[in-house]
Amino acid sequence: MAEFIFEGENYWNMRRWKRLDYMNRPVTGWDIQQNTPAMFYRMRTLYTPNNTYREFLAPIAERDLNVNPNLVQNPLW
pLDDT in tens, 20-41: 666 677 888 888 888 888 888 9
Overall pTM surpassing 0.85 (yes/no): no
Task: Name the phi and psi angles at 43, rounded to 5.
Answer: -75, 140
At 38-61, the pLDDT tens digits run 888 999 998 887 777 777 778 899
What per-residue string of b and e applies to 64-76 under the rule 16 or more CB within 10 Å gives b?
eeeeeeeeeeeee
